[in-house]
Every structure is written in structure tokens, then in C-alpha cells.
Chains A and B, each alone.
Chain A
Amino acid sequence: MFDVISNEVLAPNLHQLVVRAPRIASSRQPGQFVMVRAEAGEERIPLTIGDADAAAGTITLFVQAIGASTRRIVAVPAGGRLRDVAGPLGLPTHIRNWGRVACVGGGVGTAVLFPLAKALAGAGNEVTTIIGGRSARYIILADELGALSRELLVTTEDGSLGVQGFVTHPLADLVADPARRPGAVFAVGPVPMMRAVAELTRPHGIETVVSLNPIMIDGTGMCGGCRVLVGGEAKFACVDGPEFDGHLVDFDNLADRLATYREAEAGHVCRVSGKEAA
């Protein structure tokens, strides 16, 4: 059992949980994740470790409630417990000093981006951060990311905060300007966004790292449910990733495999609420 120390709502359906997990807090590195179940009978859900405090023995998880299991996780209040938290899993981010780097986050991906941006800034990189969301309500961690970035650019689809449009617009400007062009780009967000970022940097030959979010079951490499095609080869995102070279990832296949259980998930919502899933 893992104690939930705090549970705050950051944006609609997006919660920040601080969880007591001393072993994970001391062994985790940026880029790694945990598998979580709120209670018995639930699915195992992969969640990135957003931050950790080894001294306090806590890890921070950002959870977007989008299905039955994630709703169950965010419903655990401070003082409550999560039944299972296993990790840290996956390979840590390869951190080095590129000089200038751009960190690009979309929606809840911004939370996954946060530990990477923190580590990259810590390694002496000059970080430009671009985060985007549907509207101002969905923009998270702007202050935290702003504090460790040389420049923070915000985009919203409806223009309610920052520049109206997608994260790729300011990134295109950045890449086009030789004085600001990053040596590497880290992109985390929905599949179409990561694909768009990879396509944007490809002609410039800028190293582009994406963090993939395929369906996972065990998270330890024993089933291959999370396999993704990278450079034509099957890789297990839970042990070989979750970060890969964005120029080599088959995003079509990833998007397709992510849709495997769409009907089952809709069916489940149906039984619980008695309503059709949105």
C-alpha cells in the first residue's frame, strides 16, 4: 500500500498526486515511470514520475482521468492509499549538454516533460519551453517550467492564453532562426503533436526525442503489449523506452495500436454510468 500525501486538481480532470514510495523516490531518474493500480481488480496504468523527493520518500504523479481506472486513481484523497505502485520503470532520459534545447509539451504531456526539462536545465542546457493546450484552463506547470527555462512560450487552440494555435508554430520560428535553433528537441504529448514536431525538425536534422505512451500491462518487458516500431524494428517501450528517436518512430502504428480497446473502454463506461461513453 502506498499513502497518498496530497491530491490537487491542476486542470480539468488533471490531478497532481504526491505519493509515499521511498524506494522509488531514491532510485528514480528523469524519464522513468511507474505502474499503478488504485485497488484490486483494476487495470495496471503507466504513469510518468513527474518529480521525486528522495529525502521525503515521495514521488509526484500527474494523472489525467480519462477512463475507469484513472478516475479511480484520482479519486483517492490525501490520506488514502494506492494498492500498487511499481517502479521506477523504463530507461532514464539520456541527459547531456547540447547547449540549446527545446522542450515541447502538449496537454498532460507537459507533466511528463517537466522532469526532463528540469534535468536538461540542471545539466547546463539553455532551455526553451513551449507548452500548449486546448485553452488556458488546460495549461499546467507554466510557473515551474518558466522558472527553469530561458524562455517559456504558451499556445492555446482558442487563444485564451499566449499565442493562438499549436505548439508547432513557435517551434517552427525557433528552428528557422539560426541564432535560437536548438541542438535537440524533446517532445511529449498526443501522438499527432509528437509526429508534427518530428516532421518539423526532420529537414533540419535536429535530434528529436519523443516519449511514447503505448498501452502497457506489466511494464517490465514480459509481454510486449507496448511494442512500437522504431526504425522498422519492434521495440518494447517499457524496457527499451519510453523515449525514442522521433525521426524513426512509426506514429501511425502507435496511434492505431492505442485504439485497440476503444470499444471495450466505451463499453465499460457504459456499464458503470449506465450511459454511452463520449
Chain B
Amino acid sequence: MSTVMTTKERLAIDRIHMAELDADSRSRNFDEVNRGLTPEEAVREAQRCIRCTNRQCVAGCPVGVSIPEFITALADGNLREAARILTRDNALPAVCGRVCPQETQCEAKCVRGIKGEPVAIGYLERFVADWATTNAAELGDEPLPPSTGRRVAVVGCGPAGLTAAGELARKGHGVTIFEALHDTGGVLRYGIPEFRLPKTIIDAEVARLLALGVTVECNVIIGKTLTLAQLREEFDAVFIANGAGLPVMLSIPGENLKGVYSANEYLTRVNLMGAGRDPDSTTPIIAGKRVAVIGGGNTAMDCVRTARRLGAERAMIIYRRSEEQMPARVEEIKHAKEEGVEFVMLTAPIAIGGDKDGWVATLRCLRMELGAPDSSGRRSPVPVEGSAYDIAVDVVVNAVGTRANPLLTATAPELELNRWGNIATDDNGATSVAGVYAGGDIVRGGATVILAMGDGKQAAVAIHDWLNRR
């Protein structure tokens, strides 16, 4: 049917809006906010793709998903084929369909976006990936390539490591992922909340990799349990993707008071350990009635929306620039606002005050105004003289960023680092040590899930070439 549609007919279809849980009820539970498309909606949206020849959407995707092909298969109602194409190109499509900033990547390049709204590529990816999970039996097992007899160690089970593992396993290499925590997924598990990415999705994506023969060993900390040198003896190549999980401190007075959390601690307690979310969890959390989250990125949005769900009456974003300059996705900001989050803009914290028992009581802030543009063209915030005031709070969450964790590199002096302590690599992810590659946040500093996945995919190609040359 869709094959006979004209471009004009395709252009006449309006972009779908995905159903969401009602803001009032969802802001008090951890259920997924975005509900996904119905099969009818998905096919209709897929028909909006005009199958243009320049395929700019693919260039906008860091892992190079064959977007027009999977969308065409979907528009034709051939879900098996759509799933086959999508899972071939992307190790974690159900994750990407949910957390990628499509508005700045594939969808930003869609030609339909020039005169109207781009095709909802992310929604379609999510739909097909979820279909593939639900219908895994119908899809059958992917045929495995013959074993090359080569073994590759992957350090870290986050998005970069999982992607590289999938790519390498598909090329016939034996892959073992070493993960420091007790569960898989890295930031997908401990960082991104259940209401954006249900943990069952990660389990399903990891299961797909296990079916490809990938081994995951949790509770192994490379740099402590085993050194990089030991991995190099045991494996033919190594891919390091252990992330940037080291919180940057606020470095203001009062940071050690009870009730002050780093975003990593706050989110890890809730997401990985189930604090305040899973009735069977024994990990506690100080939920807070008045919670101030400092920062303007997606992590800050995750923290503040979590605070609402843990029962906060006032959940505030404290950001020193203005809303237009926030690095968070527009959708996250919108969702947070709908859920009752207060946005306190052009405000910088200068001290945290405590009560006599050592608990957080106030956040002392300065009002800011935007000054002249700096060398990068961005207008820097400057404090307004005499504007200091206190906000009453009982929990403060620091979401200003993370840096490279030196746990591995401290015991691997052979690895060259850059001046930020990140692992230095060439354009293919090769480090200063032959056969050792790196990617994701340990190379880039705190970045996005999809960029980490792109690194994993690219490094896997380079590792495969390197193994073939030996």
C-alpha cells in the first residue's frame, strides 16, 4: 500500500505526538512517562518519510543506522525486516529510541524538518526495538559468524562497551565485558531513571548480546581486581570504556553537611539500589521536602524529577545561566516543568548552611546577569552585587558534572592521558598502547549515550582491523 503513496500524500501526514502519562499522577511514581506508539501510529509516521536520496539522517546518526531502510520496511508493515535492519546497525536501539537527543542528530538532518516537522525517527526506532524484544521468538536467533579464535576484553558495561561488544561478537571474536558494579548497563542502569528508561529494557538489550556469545563479568574492577597489563596478557585486544564517573565537587562551604549529594550518589541510590522506589530495597535515601538541584544538564533534570517522585514539595533547578542556555534536552525541561519543578535561573550557589545537627538547611545564592559574550561567543553570567539570599532546603544535589575516574589509569602508567586525565586516543580510538582502544566518556569527558555508542562502534571496526593485521 505505502509503495503506491505519492510524495505529496506523504507530505500531507502530520507528525505523530507520542502519548504521555498525565503529569500530575506520573510525578509521584517511576512509571515510564513516554508511552510509545501504537502499530497504526508507527506505520503512519513511517509513511511520512519521503525516501529522499541524500539520506542526511544517516549522517546525523553517530552509529550510522540505516534509517530510510528500516523506516521503509516499517511503512510496508514488514516489522521483521525493520527489526533485522535496526538491530544489525545498533546494539541498543530500545535505549537510543528513548534517550538519544534526536532533535540535534538524525531528526535535525531530516529534509522534512526544513519546511515542517522532521520524521519522528526516534519514536520509530523505539517502536521497532520494542517490537523486536516482545517478538524475539518470531525473529529467531541471529546466525553467529564462525569464531575467529581471537579474544577481546571490554572494560565497562555502559553504552560504549555494550556497543563494541555487540559489534565484535558479530565479527566472530570472543568478547568478555568486565563491569565494576554488580549489574550491567553503566549509566543506563545507575544514572538514567526508570521513568525515562525502564530497567527491563536494559536487561533485554543485554540478553540480546549474551545470545551473541558475549560474556559479562560483574564485580571486576580493572585497575584493582585485575590490571590492564593482566588483561593484555589474557586477551588479544582491549577496549576501555569505563566512563567519567567521578563527581566534580561544588567546592563551596557546607558541602559535607548531611543531605548534600552528588548527582551520581543520589541517582545510584535510587536507580541501581532501588532506594525510595523498590519496597524490597534496603538502601536508604534522604528524600527531602525541599530539594535544590544545582546544574542545567540532563543529569540535573533526572535528579530533580526523581526528587519530585520521592515526595519533594519544592523541587528546584538552580542554574547560573538562563533557560535558553541549558544543555538539557528541551523535552526533559518540558517534562520537568509539567511535573511541577521550579526553575530558578541566573542563580549561583555560594554556600550551604546547616542546622545545629549538621543537616542542610539553606542554600545561599547570588543572582546573576548575563555579561558580554566571551571568546566562545557565549554570554557569561556575572554576579549581581549585594544580591545574596537564602533558599530553605533539606536536600542539595550537585549535578554540575563528572570527570574521568582514575581508578584504571592509576595502575596503567603505560596509557597516555590528556591534560584533563582522559585517555588520549587517535581518531579510531587507538590509545598509546598497541591493541588497547578506548572510547566514550573516559576519552571525551562527560558526553552523551549515543556518542559513547558511536565510539564503541568505531573502535570495534578498528579492533577488528587490528586483529586481522596480526
Contacts and interface: CB of A to CB of B under 8 A. Distances in A.
A89 B407 CA distance: 10
B69 to A, nearest CB: 39
Contacts of B227: 27
B265 A89 contact: no
Interface stretch (B37-45, B98-106, B241-249, B461-469): B241-249
Interface in A231-248: 234, 239
Contacts of B406: 221, 239
Contacts, number: 109
Interface string B217-261: 011110011110000000000000000011101000001101101
Contacts of B280: 41
Given A24-B225, A220-B405, A223-B262, A43 B247 contact: no
B258 A260 contact: yes
Where chain B touches its partner, the secondary structure class is loop
A88 B182 contact: no
Contact of B286 (A221, A239, A260): A260
A225 B264 CA distance: 9
Nearest to A72: B282
B397 to A, nearest CB: 12
B281 A221 contact: no
Nearest to A27: B225
A225 B357 CA distance: 18
Nearest to B287: A264
A257 B284 contact: no
Interface stretch (B49-57, B166-174, B267-275, B339-347): B267-275
B58 interface: no
Contacts of A24: 225
B264 A223 contact: yes
Contact of B282 (A85, A223, A268): A268
B258 A42 contact: no
B242 to A, nearest CB: 9
Interface residues on B, range: 35 or more
A16 interface: no
Given A86-B225, A221-B246, A227-B256, A44 B182 contact: yes
B256 A253 contact: yes
A85 B247 contact: no
B182 A268 contact: no
Contact of B284 (A41, A83, A89, A264): A264
Interface in A201-259: 217-218, 220-225, 227, 229, 234, 239, 253, 256-257, 259
A41 B281 contact: yes
Where chain A touches its partner, the secondary structure class is mixed
Contact of A89 (B218, B224, B285): B224
B392 to A, nearest CB: 20
A119 B374 CA distance: 56
A135 interface: no
B273 A217 contact: yes
Contacts of A87: 221, 224-225
A88 B269 CA distance: 22
B7 interface: no
A256 B180 CA distance: 29
Contacts of B269: 217
B226 A223 contact: no
Contact of B268 (A83, A85, A222, A261): A222
Nearest to A250: B256
A234 B256 contact: yes
A224 B225 contact: no
B225 A23 contact: yes
A76 B386 CA distance: 60
Contact of A234 (B221, B245, B255): B255
A11 B394 CA distance: 40
Nearest to A227: B256
Contacts of A68: 282
B247 to A, nearest CB: 5
Contacts of B358: 253, 256-257, 259
Contacts of B259: 260
A223 B218 CA distance: 19
A259 B258 contact: yes
Contact of A257 (B218, B256, B405): B256
Contacts of B405: 220-222
B275 to A, nearest CB: 9
B325 interface: no
Contact of A217 (B219, B224, B265, B282): B265
Interface in B189-227: 218-221, 224-227
Contacts of A84: 182, 218-219
A151 interface: no
A43 B282 contact: yes
A265 interface: yes
Interface string A1-36: 000000000000000000000011001000000000
B219 A42 contact: no
A177 B406 CA distance: 44
Q: Which 3 A-B pairs have the closest CB atoms?
A: A264-B284, A222-B245, A223-B265
15 contacts: A41-B282, A43-B282, A44-B182, A84-B219, A87-B221, A217-B268, A218-B180, A220-B224, A220-B245, A225-B261, A253-B358, A257-B256, A260-B258, A264-B285, A268-B284
